[in-house]
Structure 1
Amino acid sequence: MVPHVVITWVTTARGGAENSVIELAEHLAHLVPSVDVVWWRHSGPAAEASGPARVHEVTDWCGYQQALARAASRHDGRPVVVISNHRTAAADVALAPDACVIPVVRHVVNLDQALRVIDPYTGELVERSISQMPWDLLSAVPVWVGISQASAAALREHAPHARFVTEIPNGVAIPVQVPARTRPNTGRLLVAAVARTVPWKRLDFLVRAAADPRLSTAVMLDIFGDAGSQQQELQGLVHDLGAPVRFMGYAHNLPQRLAGYDVLATAALQEGFGRCVIDAAGAGIPSIVPNAGASPELVIDGLTGMVYDPHDSGDLVATFTDAMLNRHELTAMGQSARALAEAWYTPGRCAAQYLTLVVGQQPRPRPFAVAR
């Protein structure tokens, strides 16, 4: 029997994960009889959903408990599967004891990394390492999902209590037609970065490369994304180095904005997927990414972009230089990047993989109850 699907999410900022959750819900709703989304707007954006998925937006723990209880109630006798995430997994197991909970981890976790999770007993957003998660509750989870090979491999290594881990890469909606090229004729290599200004995105690494004397008059780096905890520090770094860098703020129409650039560049070492790489591919733009996390899964070096050593700033400078001196090759790389995105990184493929996963689960009532 095809189950009823509930997707849960706690949003703390605008970003690619929020877009991926909504796109999954919209496409999965075309494949299963019913889909509910319980969207806890802890801080960050509202759920911009359309289509047949029902969205229940809440702003506090009490609202989340009530919304999940309603959404996870039996639907015409059909089983219920909750596609959860690392933030809500334990809470979802506790609040929906008759459902099968499948957590999706959107990071490349390590042993010491502090993950922000919902305490299943108090509803507070707290920091826990992967080993400090409430595995007494999470032992009921039959399968975990990583959104890339790197994400799934890190889970297998650092979460030994996770019984089974599978991989389902994200899907990303890209424009049907390649956005019109809007690149200004500046003579510089125009580089875009898409990230909230927080330390783990390592935007300072990109800023320092752009400020290198060998590049500073030949490159322009524009950073798209909400201001985060590192915003002032980065602005100070740009000023001190005289770096050719601009902060552009958050962009809703990302593929259209990226059509004005030669390449996209990223620097994060623990990127669980890297949605902006596929957004750039949708605009026919290749990416320059570090050989770390999930980034090299998304870019075929020399074909759909370039991969550099993330621990060698000179290698990034050299990669920017190669891109600058071989601009005629960037167009072909961008075309190949788009072809790869259209073939594999589609929301439809992603939803179909989740459908296969949830249909294979048989939820069973669990005997424990959560202490109040």
Structure 2
Amino acid sequence: MTEEAQGRDDEETAGQEAIDEEVRARRALSGEDHARDALTGTAGPRRRRRRERAVVPEPEFTSYYGRPVLKQPVWKALDIAGYLFLGGLAGGSSVLAAGAQVTGRPHLARGARIGAAGAIAVSMVALVHDLGRPGRFVNMLRVLKWTSPMSVGSWLLSAYAPAAGVAAVSAATGRLPRIGTAGAMAAAVAGPAVAAYTGVLIADTAVPGWHEAHRELPYLFVSSAAAAGGGLGLLVAPLEETSPARRLGVAGGAAELLVARLMRARMGVVAEAYQTGRARVLMRAAEALTGTGAVAAALGWRSRWVSAAAGAALLAGSALTRFGVFEAGMISSSDPKYTVIPQRDRLHPR
């Protein structure tokens, strides 16, 4: 081999070694050598990993043309929130009326029966007004679907309202007492379901402020209904007959405050909707009135005026709770983050 050929071979070898060294250096920087050593069982020298800074900014929760991710419900606050409250008041009052009937408190039983019938009547008027025409409510009775809260609720109202009406007419006129008692007992059986199903109904929607609270809303509505029923009893009955109403109002009010706090603690970021704007004002006012009414009901058993004031506070607190929940749902449906963040949190553990 000539000296010229030998020189070319040396140059090619040196060039190939330089290329191999550059490839090894790039692999070391990208971590490929570490991955290859882990596969082959050969561990190379450990290198400190440099802390990498995120170059992609956190996403902003916006949508196309600034529109919300969800379409806001078209329900009117006065109709639907009023429907939620009055249905709960009717259910709680029917339970109280049955208890008063059994324990021999005629004035309390009479007032609770009439109050339950009046509440459910106005509640159905508010529902039909929001639907637009009565035929739409009748159409919901064409089928009974057990997996649909709206279908089950429509049939519950159709069974409960006539029983509560018969009981109220009998109590107001004094006629047909046996039929009135039967209607009162039937209304008392259906009353808790009437109070609870509205919580299931709105939690079954895609509105984050309601859907994320699906575990607690039925309990919140039932306890709020108990507080409202007890408050009505304190208003309509003489002092010597208010003992069951007092106990129901105190227990319902305490449970309402507890469940509301547990609900917000579990909801995560969506709980902000209950602490924003008008919803915050309504919920805080509801807590203040319910707490004050429960305390006054427990301590004011000797005063007719204190008992009546406690009853009014419990009724107002129950109503504001429903309006606050309704308003929080509207707030949560207008902000994309209340829809996106819970979905990401549910996907992250997977």
| Pairwise TM-score range, normalised by the shorter structure | under 0.3
Greater helix fraction, Structure 1 or Structure 2: 2
- Identify which of structures 1 and 2 has the higher relative contact order when contacts are C-alpha pairs closer than 8 Å and 6+ apart: 2
Greater strand fraction, Structure 1 or Structure 2: 1
The normalised TM-score by structure 1 is: 0.23
